[in-house]
Structure 1
């Protein structure tokens, strides 16, 4: 009986704890920026389900998709998102932008679709810095090997080589198609020979007949539509731009709005949070992929040359020698004579000793200078002993 009561108590506590964990997992996360009202995970999901860029633009602005919640000009109505395509070699740069008024346009995000040398497709959605901050990037979880397309349900016809074909074998509902990003219908369309660069024909004050703007919802409700993407295995956030060359080319023509910047600094976009405080998303590090270690290469390369001169010995001594060599060379001789005024006086005196030796040597044989009164006296006594020459005279007289 006691075991049954204990088991029942454990079950009840576990059931009560489940809602707590679910609420913690479903707690809204906000950047505190206007980009909170356009979920890039949902944008990328719509992109991979679209057949063409025109279809992509239509779904983005469809109130039933609940993707667009932007009101950048703060007029109480949702803004229309225009899609503009650019092509550079094997890279497609697809710009999402909003006409804030008749004179200003603000870029919202960029989707880059690139085919590398191995014909592998890489897709990234990059948020604009004014709306998402720096390096806010969303991409498929594994853009190298490809990811499943969880949203495609068949009946997709894509024009390839001027032929209308169904590229997918859909046998289940919902169907999961090829595990490669290159199988996305819009990607097949972009790299088909019939693709023509698309630019939205719509602009400020001139919109498609299906467009009916609606009032934006509060962020808590908007998060309820798309919060599940943050736990999705198909997409992930990163801080690495795979091909910065093409992105830098885009930034040269990037559109920004003074109205958006003013509304942001004045805090007018904070009304979407309805006075609530939300936790910030966890910081994303650029650990993956290793390929854009271009971020590390520019870091290590300057540091290596900096270490070469930073062998603060080489550059310091060589240029320093510019200062030290001219200084030390004169200082070394200057120190020899100049280390105290005594050295120059004593060291010139030391060479005098060798000079005295040659002086004394010639004087000793000559005995004329009489170096010292005692020494010349001895050599003078030697020649006085020479009158021993009288010896032969004595010997000669003896012989006689």
Structure 2
């Protein structure tokens, strides 16, 4: 009887572990919603407020636990300026010494009252060329070219002028002081309390609302400028390979263990 119970428990444990493994995203970065980040930027009045929005649990933007400590990672924001461009760098705090960039939002002023932006998932965490941008729709009736026909509604997506987003106008104001997050490992805002990450399938469902007017695109409309490259954060504890992302942990005893996050096939 005892052997039977032990066998059942073993099977349940294996099944549970297999289910959790299969629920892991194909790329670690998919536990951070790029679309959600842009939704929060559109909603925010300042970059400081934007940072607070992406780190609030009920906004369903961040589900990252890159250091695998059982708590959500805090995401900092740093603004890099070059000419008429701003690069907002979103980074996860990994440990006392390291951060890992999650995404960059590039904002470019293209006219007197015109600006465009895109968000790029970092190459360590996302598939190559992972880009998202806001869009709007243009509806028009098409009666057809060849003879009489029943008109049909044709919908096309158009790139959004983000100049009138409060946060965009804020960073281009003459009085703007460049935002660099003051927070680091063990030094967080008083209001912030980390929570345990949810299953990826649940997170995807909850953050789907952000995709209403923000979508993925293969087309680069803005370029990450040269000032960002030497300041990019890439954690040595996160190793990317073909089969997934392996997070390397060094415990108090000095022993190192690897926690592998498989990709779906």
TM-score by length of 2: 0.72
What pairs up with 1:121-136 in 2 under 5 angstroms?
121-136=115-130
* Contact 1:34-1:131 within 8 A present in 2 as well: yes
* Contact 2:80-2:227 within 8 A present in 1 as well: no
1:225 equivalent among 206, 214, 217: 206
Cα distance in structure 2, aligned partners of 1:140 and 1:61: 21
* Contact 1:31-1:132 within 8 A present in 2 as well: no
**Residue 193 of structure 1, CA deviation:** 1.1
Greater CA radius of gyration, 1 or 2?
1
Cα distance in structure 1, aligned partners of 2:172 and 2:259: 42
Gaps of 5+ in 1: 1-28, 146-178, 279-400
Whether 2:230 is the aligned partner of 1:252: answer yes
Kindly provide the CA deviation profile for residues 300-354 of structure 1, in whole angstroms up to 9, marking residues without a partner as x.
Answer: xxxxxxxxxxxxxxxxxxxxxxxxxxxxxxxxxxxxxxxxxxxxxxxxxxxxxxx
* Contact 2:118-2:222 within 8 A present in 1 as well: no
Cα distance in structure 2, aligned partners of 1:78 and 1:92: 27
SS at match of 1:186: helix
The residue aligned with 1:79 is 73
2:260 equivalent among 268, 271, 289: 268
Kindly provide the CA deviation profile for residues 88-125 of structure 1, in whole angstroms up to 9, marking residues without a partner as x.
Answer: 11111100001211111111100111102565201111
Following TM superposition, where does structure 1 have runs of at least 4 consecutive aligned residues deviating by more than 3 angstroms? 246-249
The residue aligned with 1:341 is none
User: Structure 1 or 2: larger strand share?
Assistant: 2
Q: What do you get for the CA RMSD once the two structures are aligned?
A: 2.5
SS at match of 1:64: helix
What pairs up with 1:338-377 in 2 under 5 angstroms?
none
Kindly provide the CA deviation profile for residues 280-305 of structure 1, in whole angstroms up to 9, marking residues without a partner as x.
Answer: xxxxxxxxxxxxxxxxxxxxxxxxxx
**Residue 251 of structure 1, CA deviation:** 2.3
* Contact 1:83-1:199 within 8 A present in 2 as well: yes
2:131 equivalent among 133, 137, 149: 137
Change (3 A) 1:195 1:118: closer
Cα distance in structure 1, aligned partners of 2:58 and 2:67: 22
Change (3 A) 1:53 1:203: same
Change (3 A) 1:197 1:269: same
The residue aligned with 2:56 is 62
**Residue 66 of structure 1, CA deviation:** 2.1
Change (3 A) 1:40 1:80: same
What pairs up with 1:192-203 in 2 under 5 angstroms?
192-203=173-184
TM-score by length of 1: 0.48
Gaps of 5+ in 2: 1-22, 139-159, 247-257
Count of aligned pairs between the two proteins: 208
